[in-house]
Amino acid sequence: MPVSTDMLEGGVAVITMSPAASQNTFSNTHFIPLLTNLEEVMANPSCRSVVITGTGKFFSSGGNIDDFSEAIDKGEIGSKVQEMTGRLHPLLLKIRTSDKVFVCAMNGSAAGGGLGLALSCDYRVCSHEAKIPSAFFRLGLSPDGGTTWLLPRLVGNQIARKFFFNSEVWSAEQALEYGAIDELSDSEQLMPRSIEVAREWGKWSLSSRRGTKQLLDASTSTFFETQLQFEQSLMVASSQTKDFTEGVRSFKNRLEPSFNKSEEE
């Protein structure tokens, strides 16, 4: 099975790509099961957060060179790339706008569209062995997978520019220093730590999770006045939910809030 999903306590879903899927994520054989598993957990009201991980040396290596070569020989490379990005890019948009918290447990290297998948998550825990290569320029390609939008927001425009134009390969330590990942972990602690973050971030209300993700992504591309209006509209909407009632009640009584029931109703 190329992709599997396990539901854990606290509304955490763990999606694991097999070694073959990690090494060749965007072939039809592997990407369609990944897409199906992700869409299922995003539609599951009992799921509050998602951990995505791979198996072996790769988290996700992006497109397969042999597939590209075959498509070139057949004169079908344009339609091939159009098909790949036409599937990947809508998925990345769903991840960014989902009310679920997404944590990337980066067990190995992430390149091409696989890097975009990692960067689209809300938090990245990375193995010391992982590497992040800028593979696009060596292939004569411009970047895709949302990397030109996501990476500059994490590391800054010029560091991202040098990453692409120098065709750099970052170690896990460099990626942490630049801000492309959030923390490093030993291999044996990678999954427990990723699940811990997913459970902790997923405990908050649906309105808090979804609204904050939307506001943060909008903040770098809107005027301050527009951002204030956006904040106001989401604040008014979230103030009328059962979660807000629970938050006020628990605060007044000096208790930890419990948002599970109100979300599942």
8 A C-beta contact, residue 47 and residue 84: no
Q: For residue range 73-100, list pLDDT tens digits in order.
A: 899 888 888 988 999 999 999 999 999 9
Q: What is the per-residue pLDDT for 260?
A: 66
CATH number of this structure's domain 206-264, picked from the four choices 2.60.40, 1.10.12, 3.90.70, 1.50.40:
1.10.12
Per-residue pLDDT of the chain in tens (265 residues, 90 and over written 9): 899 999 999 999 999 999 999 999 998 899 999 999 999 999 999 999 999 999 999 999 878 888 888 888 899 888 888 988 999 999 999 999 999 999 999 999 999 999 999 999 999 999 999 999 998 988 888 999 999 999 999 999 999 999 999 999 999 999 999 999 999 999 999 999 999 999 999 999 999 999 999 999 999 888 888 888 988 888 888 888 888 888 888 888 888 888 865 444 4
Which amino acid does the sequence have at 81?
Answer: V
pTM of the predicted protein model: 0.91
- pLDDT for the residue 228: 85
Q: Which residues of 149-181 are buried (b: 16+ CB within 10 A; e: fewer)?
A: bbbbbbbeeebbeebbeeeeebebeebbebebb
Query: What fold characterizes domain 3-202?
Result: 2-enoyl-CoA Hydratase; Chain A, domain 1 (3.90.226)
- The CA distance from 42 to 95, in Å, is 8
DSSP 257: -
